[in-house]
Structure 1
């Protein structure tokens, strides 16, 4: 690890780790926010405002909604940006300028990790590519996040989550069957290829740091959205590779488990998630049809999958006869898995979500009302800490450059020249 930083000294798992973050939008920032939550000092490098461009991470302007300022008006900070950039410090540096490149190289010399999501080859134009920076700092863990990786015929393509969900097969198994109302491919409601790539990148970086600490050698981490999307097909990918049969869209049903889907009660929807034969027997008792669990067509999950078209309509008729809460309470008492389908207002009012402190308020330079979704990581000895709100563009430029040893006169001259903001 690098020498200790000046951040608060409470015990944190990644305290002392410096991360230089040249990423923007979601996959890279999601990774670096996770590292920051765990205690790393993350310096977010953003584009200064110039030539009509407002500068900064594109997601700062991806609204509405925007954070409300103290006068109740929309601020400059979009909720999208706020959700992926806490616990970081922002510097605005023009990496197209020679002096800006020199500043980034100086920061890379002091860094443990660099995360970037430029197109393949872009950083080489500025002398900020992995080969160059690893020569300067052989202990550096250099993580590139791209749509398609550093190799292969698609390496030069821009990568976007939506396109990767389609290309990587997720949309072929998401959505109602073609013959059903509203049938056809659907994307997932959040950018899961980006988010999963961010999390895989985090795991990879931690593994590379472990190796670096043991050997003294950094390395390159090559993360691709498409690779991640293919990997996260998980059991469906395994299904295809084992059988050669292409999985089909099942709507809210499960490919390998029955009953494991949404049902309509008399007053709304609920999820039934029967995971084994014992749970199915209990569920049949709840429905008043214990004989179904003894029927050879339904007694085992394998048979229920084979006969789902017969079984599911029977279950649907019984469930539709009574209100949702009746079934949820009965299933809870019998320990049959299931649950309600909440909107986000209900999610954040849920007593379990509240008990787990999944909303964190933070002070922000523009607002007293910032609330963010908390980290799900719960560590007993080195807990996550919420030290810094998502930074304003260039909020920490002077501070970070002063840590490099630059005096206010030099910093002012660079700002006047448009190198920094």
Structure 2
């Protein structure tokens, strides 16, 4: 029995995005069955030339970066600076539901392919864009002309301001959340607008600013500052409002322990062989433990640092919110990851080896999203796409 089509089967998405943020957004749609047509310049998306590469891949058509976020998509190459390329693009738009781009503000306007122009061609069109500081159509930022990448969004949006070992040493978060969080929010916005278009026949402009998305992700800094006047700063591996809640050293690495509820604190104390701490009124309630944070962290660390991660897991797993700090090798060996199919094999052109990329985290009982195909070759699906949209080769 063949798998059911994805929940977004039938949704046609014209994808002009490059780098990480935009392609991650359209990947989320493609994973759920949307037909994502990646429109690339004649030389291809620049990230095709990014690594890493398989050891035996001498062709280097694309690397792991491109493979990961462009799976499940089809490719057609168009020169949007040419009259013919723009005409073909307009034909695609006429038959599509969504256009997604992440150029700087004004680029599409200068190409003669503005939202207003495309809306006249297809009134149902959902036009979605992702920029560092948004689009003037939805709110003119003083930074609208600034280019932005993940690290810029993390810096300005607040996440670096509360991440780091000490108050005066901010740190970049490891994964590119300045890209992937806005991308995820944009995917949600696209689906909300598509739902509205289905009901009313009316498309709209959907805009995400990377800065805004990271600020929204860091929501607690807003209410902390508003309610108390405090300016939150990096606090290492702890939490300003919960205790114990953070990372603790083990004999062979680090573990995460979280006891926001008082009963978890009592269970932790019992597991540590220190039940008296669970009954001590100085530590009975979360706010009490926050007030005596140094004592609490010292007591937990004195226990964890004598044990391996596996031993802490044996003591706490299933009883207290706990997890070991995993590296990639740990993740590849974890039975949870296998059971949830979170590492997916894909073929890689130019290599005899199977590549492994991250899977689809959203689980659905009827229309499960999946990795159906590798990332496309440049212009690989041009003939099929032109035929589907009734576009001649000369158009």
Query: In structure 1, how many angstroms separate the alpha carbons of the residues matched to 2:327 and 2:289?
Result: 31
Q: Which residue of 1 aligns with 2:78?
A: 93
Superposition map of 1:9-408 within 5 A: 10-48=4-42, 55-63=43-51, 65-68=52-55, 71-73=56-58, 75-150=60-135, 151-178=140-167, 184-332=169-317, 335-368=319-352, 369-408=354-393
Deviations 1:363-407 (A, max 9, x none): 344345122211111111111133321001111122212323344
Query: In structure 2, how many angstroms separate the alpha carbons of the residues matched to 1:86 and 1:95?
Result: 23
Query: In structure 1, how many angstroms separate the alpha carbons of the residues matched to 2:57 and 2:92?
Result: 38
SS of alignment partner, residue 198 of structure 1: helix
Query: In structure 1, how many angstroms separate the alpha carbons of the residues matched to 2:57 and 2:20?
Result: 27
Query: Could you tell me whether the CA contact under 8 Å between 2:58 and 2:350 is conserved in 1?
Result: no
Query: In structure 2, how many angstroms separate the alpha carbons of the residues matched to 1:318 and 1:403?
Result: 64
Query: In structure 2, how many angstroms separate the alpha carbons of the residues matched to 1:339 and 1:59?
Result: 34
Deviation at 1:159, TM superposition (A): 1.6
Query: In structure 1, how many angstroms separate the alpha carbons of the residues matched to 2:61 and 2:240?
Result: 44
Query: In structure 2, how many angstroms separate the alpha carbons of the residues matched to 1:19 and 1:320?
Result: 51
Query: In structure 2, how many angstroms separate the alpha carbons of the residues matched to 1:318 and 1:10?
Result: 50
Deviations 1:228-274 (A, max 9, x none): 01100022332222222011211111222111121123333222122
Structure 1's 284 and 146: CA in aligned 2 closer, same or farther, altered over 3 A? Answer: same
Given the two structures, how large is their TM-score scaled by the length of structure 2?
Answer: 0.94
Query: Could you tell me whether the CA contact under 8 Å between 1:66 and 1:74 is conserved in 2?
Result: no
SS of alignment partner, residue 186 of structure 1: coil
Count of matched residue pairs: 389
Query: In structure 2, how many angstroms separate the alpha carbons of the residues matched to 1:9 and 1:285?
Result: 48
Query: Could you tell me whether the CA contact under 8 Å between 2:360 and 2:371 is conserved in 1?
Result: no
Unaligned stretches of 5+ in structure 2? none
Query: Could you tell me whether the CA contact under 8 Å between 1:67 and 1:77 is conserved in 2?
Result: no
Structure 1's 316 and 386: CA in aligned 2 closer, same or farther, altered over 3 A? Answer: closer
Query: Could you tell me whether the CA contact under 8 Å between 1:67 and 1:76 is conserved in 2?
Result: no
Given the two structures, how large is their TM-score scaled by the length of structure 1?
Answer: 0.88
Structure 1's 387 and 286: CA in aligned 2 closer, same or farther, altered over 3 A? Answer: closer
Query: Could you tell me whether the CA contact under 8 Å between 1:13 and 1:39 is conserved in 2?
Result: yes
Deviation at 1:106, TM superposition (A): 0.8
